[in-house]
Amino acid sequence: MSKALEGYRILDFTHVQSGPTCTQLLAWFGADVIKVEKAGEGDATRAQLRDIPGVDSLYFTMLNHNKRSICVDTKTAQGKEVLERLIRHCDVLVENFAPGALDRMGFSWERIHELNPRMVVASVKGFGPGPYADCKVYENVAQCAGGAASTTGFDDGPPMVTGAQIGDSGTGLHLALGILAALLQRQNTGRGQKVLAPMQDAVLNLCRVKLRDQQRLERNHVLKEYPQYPDSRFGSSVPRAGNASGGGQPGSILKCKGWETDPNAYIYFITQAAVWPAVCRVIGEEGWITDGAYATPEARLLHLKPIFARIEQWTMTKTKFEAMEILNEYDIPCGPILSMQEIAHEPALRASGTVVEVDHPVRGKYLTVGNPIKLSDSPTEVRRSPLLGEHTDEVLTQLGYGPEQIDALRAQRVI
């Protein structure tokens, strides 16, 4: 079967996490992704967080599937010549170097556009234009600057970052969308364009509901869906809401049977208005269906803490999976808190290709997260990440280099 992005060539000048997540997605959709790495060392993540000495780390392998790897020292004259040929050969250049690195290498947007006017040049940077435009940025910096940390955690604790890599992988997703839009526009204009996804902006986009709440707070000085209501005072900015949903359907994380010893024996429980009578029946509080203090969503906002405490008395009598089964019978929205161990063995995720076992010639078998986006006419087949420079000769040959020229480049340590 054909692939959605078959025929598109991506010059993958990315490293660490944000850029590689973007190009990995493009590769999964069928693009030919050529990862250009520093001769001799490669992407720094190959050697970071290693669990087996001398073997490409899981960090690297899990972010670079389905790509080809070519080693070129792009700071040498001959290396720049290789890069120029690659720019002419490819449709998209994706990079996430520190601000200015590509210009310093001699490949400004103007130069790239001159070499290949159809090329889309896509960049992840920590910040967009402004006072921090020149800063280097990693995941948690973006979470902090994008509004996630100040709105995550508990009211009486410090700001908190989340394990979901919304700054890196979240920005990679945004960039991939920008690239696809630019490629579609190119079909009409014949021209490439610059695509920029700043990490701060991507995180803020994912924190959109908190900017919504900031404005609601400024107008009404209270957020009735937040756990601070009705007992505590609100300040001037959106507070941390703990595990409350903070949205139109109140929710909370509740203990289940075994919570004393199992750190993940919890369930997320949502008291959706439509199923409130069912919630009351399940927990044995039928009186709450008609009691004025509980009967409407607005009335319940005054009593969310005692309501969830009462529901928790019920969830503590069930395992999270037993509770799920019962609640699903009544269409009550809920979800078990799954550990990574449970997710790794979840048969449905294996069956859908979201958790995939991959075989690597040096590392052996390992688990990875496959393509979470499913296209019915473009199935994803997850292939292992490339060894450093595995495809250097193959790609250089495609670019028109002969065997002697390749040997000479190798002798001069350009590749």
Minimum Å gap between C-beta 137 and ligand CAO is 5
Run of H or E including 36? strand 32-37
Rounded to whole angstroms, the Cα distance separating 141 from 126 reads 8
Q: Which of 43, 91, 168, 213 is catalytic?
A: 168
Judged by CB, which is closer to ligand CAO: 201, or 213?
201
Burial 155-171 (b: 16+ CB within 10 A, else e): eeeeeebeeebbbbbbb
Residue 280 DSSP label: H
Minimum Å gap between C-beta 405 and ligand CAO is 18
Minimum Å gap between C-beta 14 and ligand CAO is 8
306: buried, middle or exposed (CB in 10 Å: 19+, 13-18, 0-12)? exposed
Instruction: Give me the DSSP letters along 230-267.
Output: TTS---SSPPP-TT---SSS-EEEEE-TTTTT-TT-EE
- Count of CA atoms in the C-beta half-sphere (13 A) of 356: 19
Task: Tell me which residue of 379, 386, 387, 334 sits closest to 29, measured CA to CA.
Answer: 379
Judged by CB, which is closer to ligand CAO: 46, or 125?
125
Judged by CB, which is closer to ligand CAO: 200, or 315?
200
Minimum Å gap between C-beta 125 and ligand CAO is 5
Whole-Å CA distances, 322 to 283, 352, 372: 14, 24, 27
Interacting residues toward ligand CAO by CB under 6 A: 16-19, 36-38, 72-75, 96-98, 101, 104-105, 124-126, 136-139, 168
Task: Tell me which residue of 78, 122, 121, 93 sits closest to 34, measured CA to CA.
Answer: 93
Known catalytic membership, residue 168? yes
Judged by CB, which is closer to ligand CAO: 19, or 250?
19
Minimum Å gap between C-beta 58 and ligand CAO is 15
Q: Which residues are catalytic?
A: 168
